[in-house]
Structure 1
């Protein structure tokens, strides 16, 4: 009897995947720079930077993207004004970082952007968050 197998998996994003054991979050996310947040971050973890307009969320998130020791960055921005996201799209491709081996690389090479505008319905904001969660490695 022959069976066909595909790489497709259907899984609801709110349901946790079954795992044999969880890894300990004991390695800090090192930046080599002073990035002021209210709590320390772990490598492989997630970070949310909430705040009102003009409070420095873009500066903090770009600093984390540029100076962190992570391999991938998923950048989810919900409810953004169009000019704010345009500024990110203009600035982020120009940022470079120095890897541990001394080689310089563009930050955009390891960054995924998920965004929607402020005039979108609340369901669209939620969909963006779930899309970012699904993209995470």
Structure 2
């Protein structure tokens, strides 16, 4: 089994593409992984990028959704700049394939904000899902 914690730094962030949510996700994460996350103060985010890609007509192409989520989570560059640059690149890369392809990829960028946060605690390895989508927080902070 691949060690998903390898390379994670203390106080880091972890994004998982998964079909599971909240308690079900916590139940299915190996205890060793949950313990590592809790002991190292890892912020765990999850998204079902595969389902989103299928819903918007991109099949199993999840890269743009996950890239968008990454930029939103990490803040390595301002979110509005990341979205703007991603959409410019989409036009450059897919413009000749038609408006439909461009619009599907735009939707992938936008829906990358649908990730959620999973909170794990060391004591009892309990978890709770943050019910509020991060996009709500993002929009509130932009006002």
Fold similarity call, TM over 0.5: no
Q: Which has the higher helix share?
A: 2
Q: Which has the larger radius of gyration?
A: 1
TM-score by length of 2: 0.30
Structure with greater contact order relative to length (CA < 8 Å, sep ≥ 6): 2
